[in-house]
Structure 1
Amino acid sequence: MTTATLERIAKPAQFPEEPVIRSIDLKFTSGRDVNAGLEDAVAELIEVASKDASCGILVTRLNPGRYTVALDESVPFGETYEAFAA
């Protein structure tokens, strides 16, 4: 019988560099800018999410022209969900 053990190697202590970005609020005045702006925000948060692989990204439309792009633990890692605020 063989047994395999997966161990997570502890990260060395580091000095805090910058606060981790968990969400980005966006406001657009032109519909032409929405897609590019959301894509840029999602790309930025993908980099943050990939460091600890614990959550995905939630894009929420708050009202026309206003969005929040955030790391969300209810979204599986590697996925991006969309929502509309009530």
Structure 2
Amino acid sequence: MNFPLTLTVADRQSMDSELDAAVTAAKAHALADRRNGILVTRHTANTFTVALSETVPFGLTREHQAW
């Protein structure tokens, strides 16, 4: 899986499951390099990105609202 991942969800249930899966994958990548944390950005009501971020300390996941 390549990061950042962009997700477009249809409803609340799919939002929760898709974000959980994306964050789990990001955690695996973050553990490999042990340098970056995870940043989840909400761009619209149904569009998100999940990225490895140098601005987030390793071991943390932060959320950002960009809309």
Instruction: Give how far 1:29 is off.
Output: 1.2
* Contact in 2 for aligned 1:55/1:75 (Cα 8 Å): yes
Aligned residue identity for 1:53:
R
Unaligned runs of 5+ in 2: none
Q: Name the counterpart of 2:22.
A: 41
- Equivalents in 1 of 2:12, 2:46: separation in Å? 7
Structure with the higher strand share, 1 or 2: 2
- TM score, norm. by length of structure 2: 0.93
Structure with the higher helix share, 1 or 2: 2
- Equivalents in 2 of 1:52, 1:28: separation in Å? 29
State which structure, 1 or 2, has the greater radius of gyration over its C-alpha atoms. 1
Q: Name the counterpart of 1:58.
A: 39
- Equivalents in 2 of 1:85, 1:71: separation in Å? 17
- TM score, norm. by length of structure 1: 0.73
- Equivalents in 2 of 1:27, 1:65: separation in Å? 5
* Contact in 2 for aligned 1:56/1:78 (Cα 8 Å): yes
Moved over 6 A (4+): none
Quick one: higher RCO (CA 8 Å, sep 6+), 1 or 2?
2
* 1:80 paired residue among 37, 58, 61: 61
Aligned residue identity for 1:44:
A
Percent of aligned pairs with the same residue?
36
